Amino acid sequence: MGFLSAFVCVALASGAFAQAAFPDCVSGPLATTTVCDITANPVDRAAALVSLFTFDEKVNNTGNTSPGVPRLGLPAYQWWQEGLHGVAESPGVYFAESGPFSYATSFPQPILMSAAFDDPMIYNIATVISTEARGFNNNNRSGLDFWTPNINPFKDPRWGRGQETPGEDPFHLQSYVYNLITGLQGGLDPEYKRIVATCKHFAAYDLENWMGNVRYGFDAIVSIQDLSEFYTRSFRTCARDANVGAFMCSYNAVNGVPSCANSYLLQDILREHWGWTNEDQWVTSDCDAIENIYQPHYYAPTRQLTVADALNAGADLDCGEYYPLNLGSAYEEGLFNVSTLDRALIRLYSSLVKLGYFDPAENQPYRSIGWENVSTPAAEELAYTAAVEGITLLKNDGTLPLSSSIKSIALIGPWANATTEMQGNYYGVAPYLISPLMAAEAAGYTVYYATGPGIDDPTTSSFPAAFEAAAAADAIIYAGGINTDVEAEGMDRYTLDWPGVQIDLIDSLSQFGKPFVVLQMGGGQVDDSCMIPNAGVNAIIWGGYPGQSGGTALIDIIMGKVAPAGRLPITQYPIGYVYQIPMTDMSLRPSATSPGRTYMWYTGTPVFPFGYGLHYTNFTASLSESSASSYDISTLVSGCSGYEHLDLCPFASYTVNVTNTGNSVSSDFVALLFVAGEHGPAPVPNKVLAAYSRLHSVAPLSSQTTTLNLTLGSLARADSYGNTILYPGEYDLVLDVDAKSTVSFSLTGNESVLDYWPQPTA
């Protein structure tokens, strides 16, 4: 979303905190109406409210900064709040300058949280975020609608907003978002929602500004097969399975039609095919995306046709002013029916009814949440745990954890004393921000600190100070990589190399002959190829954007106070990848002009593959044999009569036995189960993640077990029409990236369609 336009919208608000006030349902103008009748149906209550609006009042309340209807006692309301990894600064969130509500818990960025592969933790984090959001709302410091999560798959490593996502794998995104949404909203269909979450950006959005292609006018040409199998699977989970309250349509067009005017996306797929039909579920545009339909998409020839196209397609709310400014004249031209406008408003206000917005405090469970529930000790501990669980060890020759004999370290680099950088983007005010420098000093090390070159500084003038620090210390830690200076909303990368002269400094520091650890920070991956064979680089740790306790988590791992067990949620490609395929190419499968995308289709050799991560100990793991070596497809499908969605029908459960064969370090372990083999349309994917589970604290010389459940959808693939099909053929279940254990079976008989994908009309 574009913050520049957002702040213009904020200026329209009638008062600093007016949008967070509650209607007076005791003695105000609405008190005796159906609107305030808590026994009535939410849709009936919302419809009663909208029926009291004049036409102009209806139009005025179609933008994200809604003025309300003062004559009815309906306050102004800001629909735009952010909560990507904690309550965040945004048009609807107001942090106090000091004291209560001056901060909120700041968790790691999603790209790092997802590297933990710990879905129960994601649910707990979401519950904390929504609880703190309620505290802010109850004290007139936020609204109740949060435009999170970003659930677009991170298919191209250059994308500036990849840090906001859980990574590149569709199944991982589905599992992550299900737990996140149910934690944010307080369940699948609670009587009162904690907050309303918003799945964004629908659909096929993963380009900011690359080679003159700008997100506001980019037309993503996507095959129906890829749209079904990759670009929309996480959104299907949002709508069909997790019952999310809101969607956001994206800036880009899909196959020639801007997303916010795309009835195929917003109606045929979202509402009709996925059954997202509750009248309290609504769609917002990304900020100014409706205006962008007019230009730079040049899809509609007039402003009036632009807003009518979006409203008729199913975009209920405009983040911006284009609806309020142009819907009136569009209606005068007969371009939409007033019932369509009413439908949009009823959806919005039904959502507020479900949040308890019109109900007395004593009638709903969240109105009593206050400052004492914000940034609690438990929340702070969870933020630290999330950082520890996601941090991923990429190389280690045995140097880590550092020996207790090391008393001094040289801490060098642009991330060495990073504070706000730890949060990435879409962040709020944290209660504290602990840099690696602060954490190292608190741990008792004598620290020789040198900033080194900036992230993309092309000069070597800072090298002498870095060398001086390195010479004085027992061990060296370089903290660098990338940050929001080179990857951010509105900005894509052009290279996968370490920016500036960082790699030159790393090479020089590796020649000191001292224990040397490289902290690779940032959301996207950079090519570490030159460091892997360098014996002077003893260890590499990927730290992402680790949040408020990031420095402590990093130093604790380096010391061995905790053990790393994160797994890469994205592929680390070699630097030449960017020259093999343009960002604008949306295809996934390899071809004469493409090496393929993501671990599923990439035909080259990755620097580090998806799911890669080392430990401070050694593990063995075995997968239980299936009960049969062959399954008849028709028999499998006929046993799913109780399942509305056949892809969710159970196939089999597999027990994984994990043994820590080391004798000194207790460690977590993530069990990843992939499906491979020859089945379905060519080209066959390398493998596809089907299940995962994080085991906690596996003690030395001991074992733990976990169960991984597969569904028919785990085995299915999409055909060229986007239909989800269970194909006959040979299937291999592969445990972990290095194939610690494999089980094989076959599916026989005729293929079976589990889901028919809606086809676009000409």
pLDDT in tens, 167-207: 999 999 999 999 999 999 999 999 999 999 999 999 999 99
Is the pLDDT assigned to residue 13 strictly greater than 70?
Answer: no
| pTM for this prediction | 0.96
Is the pLDDT assigned to residue 700 strictly greater than 60?
Answer: yes
- Give the lowest-confidence range in 20-34, 238-252, 721-735: 20-34
Task: Find out whether 355 and 190 touch, Cβ atoms under 8 Å.
Answer: no
User: What is the rounded CA–CA span in Å between residue 58 and residue 208?
Assistant: 33
Cα torsion 469, 544, 88, 206: sign: positive
Confidence (pLDDT) at 363: 87
Q: What is the DSSP string of 426-485?
A: S----S----HHHHHHHTT-EEEEE--S-TT----TTHHHHHHHHHHSSEEEEEEE--TT
- Give pLDDT tens digits for 298-336: 999 999 999 999 999 999 999 999 999 999 999 999 999
Confidence (pLDDT) at 752: 98
- Give pLDDT tens digits for 379-405: 999 999 999 999 999 999 999 999 999
> Which element (helix H / strand E) includes 465?
helix 463-472
- Give pLDDT tens digits for 87-96: 999 999 999 9
Which tops the pLDDT comparison, 3 or 742? 742
Average pLDDT, the chain: 96
Largest CA distance in the chain: 80
Q: What percent of the chain has pLDDT over 70?
A: 97
β-pairing, 446-450 vs 408-412, is parallel
Confidence (pLDDT) at 116: 99
| Helix (H), strand (E), coil (C) string for 656-688 | EEEEECCCCCCEEEEEEEEEECCECCCCCCCCE
- Give pLDDT tens digits for 686-696: 999 999 999 99
Is the pLDDT assigned to residue 19 strictly greater than 50?
Answer: no
Task: Name the DSSP class of 309.
Answer: H
Instruction: State yes or no: is 286 an active-site residue.
Output: yes
Task: Give the mean model confidence (pLDDT) for residues 445-451.
Answer: 98
| Structure tokens that stand for 436 in this block | 């690696």
Query: Reading across the β-sheet that carries 724-726, which strands appear in turn?
Result: 717-718, 724-726, 752-755
Domains annotated on the chain, with CATH: 383-566 (3.40.50.1700), 619-755 (2.60.40.10)
Q: What percent of the chain has pLDDT over 90?
A: 96
Catalytic residue among 145, 268, 280, 286: 286
Confidence (pLDDT) at 21: 83
